[in-house]
A and B are shown apart, each in its own frame.
Chain A
Amino acid sequence: MPRDDGIGASVRRKEDFRFVTGRGTYTDDINRYGQTYAAFARSPYAHARIDGIDTAAAQAVAGVVAVFTGDDLAAAGVNGLPCGWQIHSKNGEPMAEPGHPPLAQGKARYVGDAVAVVIAETRAAAKAGAEALEIAYTPLAAVASIRAAKAAGAAVFDDIPSNNCYDWELGDRADIDAAIAAAPQTVTLSLVNNRLVPNAMEPRSAIGDYDTATGEHTLFTTSQNPHVIRLLMGAFVLGIPEHKLRVVAPDVGGGFGSKIFHYAEEAVVTWAAAKIRRPVKWTSDRSEAFLTDAHGRDHETTVTLAMDNDGKFLALKVITDANMGAYLSTFAPCVPTYLYATLLAGQYTTPKIFAGVNAWFTNTCPVDAYRGAGRPEATYVVERIVEEAARHLNIDPAELRRRNFISPDAFPYQTPVALEYDSGNYAGTLALATKAIDYDGFKARQAASKAAGKLRGIGFSAYIEACGIAPSAVVGSLGARAGLYESGAVRVHPTGSVTFYTGSHSHGQGHETTFAQVIAERLGVSVENVDVVHGDTSKVQFGMGTYGSRSLAVGGSALSKALDKVEAKAKKIAAHLMEASDADVEFKDGVFTVAGTDKSVAFGDVALTAYVPHNFPHDELEPGLEEQAFYDPKNFTYPAGCHICEVEIDPDTGVIEIANFVAADDFGNIVNPMIVEGQVHGGIAQGVGQALMEGCVYGEDGQLVTGSYMDYCLPRADNLPNFKVSTQVTPCPHNPLGVKGCGEAGAIAAPAAVMNAVTDALRSVGVTKPIDMPATPSKVWAALNGA
């Protein structure tokens, strides 16, 4: 009998009790004794010279404690925010890497760029102080779009007149150009991957605290990776050694990538708390979040696919411009390169691929990883052009994909764009999805819609992602300035309960339950007797955090390795207690036995013996039962699947209704199916949001037009349907749990499925004019009416 709380069970989440009762502890829920409040004065201009800051009026506001500017930080030796990934251009030159001071020095470079901070006794006084600052600006010409950046009429940085961060490529351009020129069939598309605002529901918050007795700094922050923040802020920005800097990321209300990065406010409150010898708290309001949380996507791409007359893909060429924003956020440079171009083979055997990527500075909020990070952009390019090819050749889109899939017996499969896929069965997930949506019945449904005056379309997205980020040696060779392993420590207590310390971080993913299930399965301890600790550098020895669907594939593998060590030691103790050789000891369902005898000892007794070692193999072992492991992945993992969307459009209004959305995903082995389904639902919602509703818009002057929920269309309950999700299991062959990761799949797959369906519906009435995401009713209506 499998455990009802082990691997494969939909265990209800351990963390939910505190969340449904309002007893979670998010950063803004924390208050420190003697706390002050910080408010940031932010540039109202996209690009301006800061001619002077008169702080007298702000200092005079009742309750204001201190005012600091960029010059104050510079004088104190505070460094700029570092970038964690260095890309080299095709000519071998390193990327342009301008400084990013936590408070602007000399110039402000986007609307929202922090210029000064006011610290006061209350939040209201801090805000009043920030408003009272007299900052003299000289507005400068703004570069608000990729187009403006390329035109180079103005420069974001004086010493980078081209606005170009890097000009990077992967593959042999001349070879691919020749293959395309010689091909019997080609299709080309120009695509925009719209800029998005991540919008975790919890706004960012940070509290700096300084212990004058010990010299220890503490930062409470809304982070997906507290150890990474400790490393970046301590070693690069503030010069605080690790043993004097504690970073705590308590309950965090969603991240989606936006809380990976080291932000200016974290460094400022940490530094200021030590300076004024009092805790300093800052909590973003939503308007600040729109202006300053790193944005996502923002690519412009031209793609060409070459085929033979049977639809066999021969070559793919992708030319992309990517917007970096005003500064390089922590992992920004790797998103449009190694997290993007390496995925352009998709699920297909395309033998020749070239990608050329230019990254541009603009006077906009920095752009960095957002759920999927590069992989949604790649999937959008591949799956839109494949659908286009199917229509061009008049081949059923499912059939065209089948003709080009990497076959299940071809793994490991080396793609022409650097990755070696480990396992998969793409025809399998396509078949699951087509069955779930009743693909055979589509024509009848389309006819019924037509009879009702509606347009119906169907669209596929057969996506692949590289997750389980990442093998340190590989990413190091590609410019990463960090390792991407994970650590985990299993502490068995004297009575057999367990605390697991992980460097992963949960901000909604349910680690406290999933990891407990893995432990329950292995040690025979119930999930109630397992607690999972994460998010505190003073408790967890080290970690790289949660992003890139890595927690279970990398952090779970570290757990698995630590459990191996616990089990090995416990076996030796059990062997001693049973007076047997440890080679003869078996361990199952929490009980050690000796083969061929009736001797047994429970795991709890072994744990107790480890801590009360009266009868203990002291010559061989130390007392205690706690083991730590680091796991550095051998390869990425490759979750893949097929999502199909069916839309119905009202031609009178342009309103699109999602009539049906199915997902068939292969995440390898699954620990908690309920949690996995929830991850897929949420990802699809963000993908549908990108396709139909969301779009971050800057004016030509660099003002953010979509700066609130009144302007930025976040999906609401009545914008979305229920989703039909299913899974197929092809275990990952190179990590101990056989898992691949599920967090980003929906956001990666959905945009192409939705847009292919919209395109299909429009073509049913002969409208071939392409529309870009978000496919709002006005755009659809305009396309239908030739406007």
Chain B
Amino acid sequence: MATVSMTINGKQVTGDVEGRTLLVDFLREDQRLTGTHVGCDTSQCGACTVHVDGKAVKSCTMLALQADGAAVTTIEGLADGDVLHPMQEAFREHHGLQCGFCTPGMIMSATALAARNAAPTEADVRHHLEGNLCRCTGYHNIVKAVMAGARAMQA
């Protein structure tokens, strides 16, 4: 076991992990932040996407120890209390989710896109979301939501 420290959603946390512990397992099992989901075992589905030092990262692809000292944001850290982040609001407004399982990863991925591209086109969004699988929506309303959410983030 080794000790790992990081900031999660603005809060300093410390935990003991095995060397093989994935960041996603540290978040879900140790920190009980279960909004970050595990949908595959090949880093393809993106349901586990979080921000590590501002970058969107698939947290199943990173060891917890690699995030030592980092600032991690999960889906639980996006809203301001009960006031939704503009991207969360856009997903709600545009019916960009059905079962909700891929949604946290989609939203975390989308906010990372919007941070570097304030007005993504439909093609930009579709290309960017290549690493996030959804089986419910056919992506139609997710794409709409991300475009609207990115605009709203500028407001």
| Chain A residues proximal to chain B, CB less than 8 Å | 12-13, 15-26, 28-29, 124, 199-203, 251-254, 256, 285-287, 507-510, 674-675, 677-679, 681-686, 708-710, 714-718, 720, 722-723, 746
Contact call B125/A717, Cβ cutoff below 8 A: yes
Residues of B within 8 A of A16 (CB): 91-92, 97, 100
Contacts of A678 in B (CB 8 A): 95, 98, 136-137, 140-141
Q: Is B97 in contact with A20, judged by CB distance below 8 angstroms?
A: yes
By the criterion CB–CB under 8 Å, are A251 and B137 in contact? no
Q: Is the CB of A714 within 8 A of B34?
A: no
With CB as the reference atom, state the residue of chain B lying closest to A16: B92
| B130-155 vs A, Cβ < 8 Å mask (1 yes, 0 no) | 10111111111111000000000000
- Assess A717 versus B139: contact at CB under 8 Å? Given A20-B103, A21-B76, A22-B36: yes
Please, which residues of chain A bring their CB within 8 A of the CB of B33?
A: 22
Complex formed: what's the CA distance from A15 to B123 in Å?
29
Residue ID in chain B nearest A25 by CB atoms = B34
Pick the contact of B41: A22, A201, A287, A722 (CB < 8 A): A287
Tell whether B44 is near chain A: CB-to-CB under 8 Å.
yes
Query: B78 touching A21 by the CB < 8 A rule?
Result: yes
Determine if B140 and A22 form an interchain contact, defined as CB atoms under 8 angstroms apart. Answer: no
A201-B99, A709-B133, A718-B127 given; A22·B91 CB < 8 A: no
Contact yes or no, B45 A201, CB < 8 A: yes
Q: In the bound complex, do residue B38 and residue A256 qualify as a contact, i.e. CB atoms below 8 Å apart?
A: no
Q: Complex: how many Å from CA A508 to CA B99?
A: 3
Is the CB of B55 closer than 8 A to any CB of chain A? no
Task: Give the A-binding residues of B (Cβ under 8 A).
Answer: 18, 20, 28, 33-42, 44-45, 47, 74-76, 78-79, 84, 88-89, 91-93, 95, 97-104, 107, 122-123, 125-127, 129-130, 132-143
Minimum CB–CB distance from B142 to chain A (whole Å) comes to 7
Query: What are the residues of chain B within 8 A of A507 when measuring CB–CB?
Result: 99
A709 touches B44 (CB 8 A): yes
Q: How far is the CB of A574 from chain B (nearest CB, A)?
A: 37
**Residues of B close to A710: CB separation below 8 A:** 42, 44
User: A674–B132 Cα gap in the complex (Å)?
Assistant: 23
Would A685 and B139 be within 8 Å (CB), given that A508-B99, A678-B98, A717-B130 are in contact? yes
Number of A-B contacts (CB under 8 A): 179
* B138 and A685 within 8 A (CB): yes
B38:A28 contact, CB within 8 angstroms:
yes
Contact status of A253 and B99, CB under 8 A, knowing A508-B136, A714-B135: yes
Say how far B133's CB is from chain A's closest CB, in angstroms.
6
A720 B138 Cβ-Cβ under 8 A = yes
| B84 cross-chain contacts in A, Cβ below 8 A | 17, 20-21
Option from A26, A285, A286, A681 in Cβ contact (under 8 Å) with B137: A681
Sample of 19 A–B contacts (CB below 8 Å)? A12-B93, A20-B97, A28-B34, A200-B99, A201-B45, A251-B99, A252-B99, A508-B99, A679-B98, A682-B137, A685-B140, A708-B41, A708-B42, A716-B129, A717-B126, A717-B132, A717-B143, A718-B123, A723-B140
Question: Is the pair B39, A202 in contact by a Cβ cutoff of 8 Å?
Answer: yes
Interface centre among A12, A252, A684, A716 (most CB of B within 10 A): A716
What CA separation (Å) do A674 and B122 show in the bound complex?
20
B111 to chain A, nearest CB (A): 12
Q: A17 contacts B133, CB within 8 Å?
A: no
Most buried by B among A19, A124, A714, A723: A19
Knowing A682-B136, A716-B133 are in contact, say whether A17-B92 is a contact too (CB < 8 A).
Answer: yes
**A682 pairs with B98, CB closer than 8 A:** yes
Closest to A283 in B: B38
Which of A253, A509, A709 has the most chain B CB within a 10 Å cutoff?
A253
Q: Are A723 and B138 in touch, CB under 8 angstroms?
A: yes
Nearest-CB distance from A127 to chain B (Å)?
11
User: Which of chain A's residues have a CB closer than 8 A to the CB of B143?
Assistant: 717, 722
A18–B35 CA distance with the chains assembled, in angstroms: 9
B150–chain A nearest beta-carbon distance, Å: 15
New A-B pairs, 6, CB < 8 Å, besides A201-B45, A708-B41: A20-B103, A22-B36, A508-B100, A714-B135, A716-B139, A717-B134
